[in-house]
Amino acid sequence: MNQPVSCLPVTANKMSKAKKVLDEARESKNREIDLVDRGISTFDELPGLLSFVFVTRITLSHNKLKSVPPGIANLINLEILNLSNNHIDDLPLSLSSMPKLRILNCSINRLDTLPRGFGAFPVLEVLDLSYNNLNEKALPGNFFMMDSLRALYLGDNEFEYLPPEIKNLKNLQILGLRDNDLLELPREIGELTRIRELHIQNNRLAVLPPEVANLDMPGPKSVLKMEENPWVTPIAEQYLVGISHVLEYIKTEAYRILYNRHASNSKSAGNVPPKSDKSKKASRARS
């Protein structure tokens, strides 16, 4: 027997399901709301959501959202907000005033700037901005004042440099910088003494600051990923043997001389490796 064919378009089906989720949450005071892949393009399609002050987690990944309303800050008990894989090109400053927000995932969007004052989050622990169009000029002045931050993911963006102020993230344990255009790392990165994971693969790095050796990286629970960079020959050779050999080598006087020479030569920028082609990134698409 043939199944009856629904006359509702797929998007309408998804929309009605989204409304059902919200209605049920309103009735039961459900603190976790899952709206993954519902074809949502605006918060207007989520009536009442911004008044759900009882909610602690909202997942809106894999939708078509282009913006987030300032009223999101009304959700004073929200701890986890997942906005990944949308079309968002702008975030409201009010996000950073949310008193209980611990985890914010804005990965795989179209951000090329962040609001001024964005670093004012009082208790944020995990911030994922990977796979956007951000660079060092997009970061507001107080970005590195989030001293509660434990994990910062900036991979798949367009950073060429990192501000020295990164040293202020004293509690940072995970720093993701893979797949950028980084030409160097600031020496101040050696002051992040709690770092246990550093991902710098697939950049344009030729040398490491000697201060990286100050980090407790060769331990069994630590991760240092640094492949696919145009390293100077001595680092490349040590990396073939193992990360611990790299860290021992960059402590040597011979390496300090090499590093200082490279730093002064790079000022002339004669042989800078080309940027990678990111024109086909999802974050570059325009609908």
Give residue-wise pLDDT tens across range 154-205: 999 999 999 999 999 999 999 999 999 999 999 999 999 999 999 999 999 9
| Residue 262 belongs to some domain of the structure | yes
Determine the structural domain holding residue 220 and report its residue range.
65-284
Is residue 23 one of the residues assigned to a domain? no
Helix extents (H) in the chain: 10-28, 233-241, 243-249, 253-266
- Model confidence over 204-253: pLDDT tens digits? 999 999 999 988 776 778 899 999 999 999 999 999 999 999 999 999 99
Higher pLDDT, 4 or 161: 161
In angstroms, rounded to a whole number, what is the distance separating the alpha carbons of residues 105 and 48? 22
CA dihedral defined by 137, 172, 128, 225, rounded to 10 degrees?
Answer: 90
More confident residue, 274 or 123: 123
Residue 32 located in a structural domain? no
Report in angstroms the alpha-carbon separations of 129 from 54, 96, 156, 258: 26, 14, 9, 34
| Token couple for 8 | 């509702």
Residue 165, domain CATH: 3.80.10.10
- Asked if residue 47 belongs to a domain, the reply is no
- Does a structural domain hold residue 186? yes
**178, part of any domain:** yes
Cβ neighbors of 270 (< 8 A, separation 6 or more) are none
Is 205 part of a structural domain of the chain? yes
Q: What is the pLDDT of residue 6?
A: 47
**Residue 74 CB partners (closer than 8 Å, separation 6+):** 50, 51, 53
C-alpha–C-alpha distance, residues 187 and 166, integer Å: 10
Query: Could you report the per-residue pLDDT of 73-103, keeping only the tens digit for each?
Result: 999 999 999 999 999 999 999 999 999 999 9
Angle, alpha carbons 119-123-128 (nearest 5°):
60
Distance of alpha carbon 196 from alpha carbon 200, whole angstroms: 13
pLDDT at position 176 is 98
Is there a contact between 76 and 54 (Cβ–Cβ < 8 Å)? no
Residue 200 lies in a domain: yes
Distance CA 181, CA 109 (A): 18
What value, to the nearest 5°, has the Cα angle with vertex 43 and ends 39 and 49? 110
Domain count, the chain: 1
Rounded to the nearest 5 percent, the helix, strand and coil shares of the chain are 30, 10, 60
pLDDT computed for residue 218 by the predictor: 65
Query: β-strands 57-59, 32-34: how paired?
Result: parallel
Q: Which residues contact 242 (CB under 8 A, 6 or more apart)?
A: none
